Amino acid sequence: MPFVNIKITRDGVTPEKKADVIRGVTQVMVDVLGKNPATTMVLIEEVETDNWGIGGETVTVRRKRGA
């Protein structure tokens, strides 16, 4: 039973876009690894930009300065 965990920043991704990601990732697991889509689980976790850091600073700060 495959389990795919996707983490993204919480910044307005619509439920429709998340559903598209879930469908697409499930299909990749079927096409590439031959997994059963009925038992493939995909979890999308949304993280606040203040809780995600790159290069020693938060995503919030990086986005404010346009990096």
Catalytic site positions: 2
Q: What is the CA radius of gyration of the chain?
A: 15
Segment (H or E) for 39: none
CA distances from 61 to 12, 13, 48 (A): 17, 20, 12
